[in-house]
Amino acid sequence: MAPRIIVIDDENIVCQMSKRVLEQEGYQVETYVDSTEALERIKTTPFDVVITDFKMENVSGMDILREVNQRYPHTRVIMLTAYATLDTAIDALREKIYDFFPKPVKIDELKKAVKRALDTR
């Protein structure tokens, strides 16, 4: 079975671009622009990799990270943000983030990060 990836970002273009690129790599990809809906999906469905935006309405990327870590400790979380600061990165590292990228993320970097995340599971 193909690895399962969920992409959560309030920018639909990020979701669609990520889905297209990652499906070409052979992954099964779900996308959500509504972080509350994505969190509910995560509560009932395990994923191999979670890619989430840091700053979203309602549910933040940190909320997503904490939920994933609590429910699925072997799932890797990759965070994307347009608001990259040292404090943001430190907070994410404290919560055991797998990888962290400032937006816009380069396609090749994202593909490599997902592959590394799956290899380290």
The full set of domain ranges for the chain reads 4-120
**Can you give the pTM of this predicted structure?**
0.94
The whole-number pLDDT of residue 83 equals 76
Considering all CA atoms of the chain, what is the largest pairwise distance in Å, rounded to the nearest integer?
Answer: 38
Q: How confident is the model at residue 84 (pLDDT cuts 50, 70, 90)?
A: low
pLDDT at 48 over 80: yes
**Per-residue pLDDT tens digits for 58-82:** 999 999 999 999 999 999 999 998 8
CATH code for residues 4-120: 3.40.50.2300
Q: How confident is the model at residue 93 (pLDDT cuts 50, 70, 90)?
A: confident
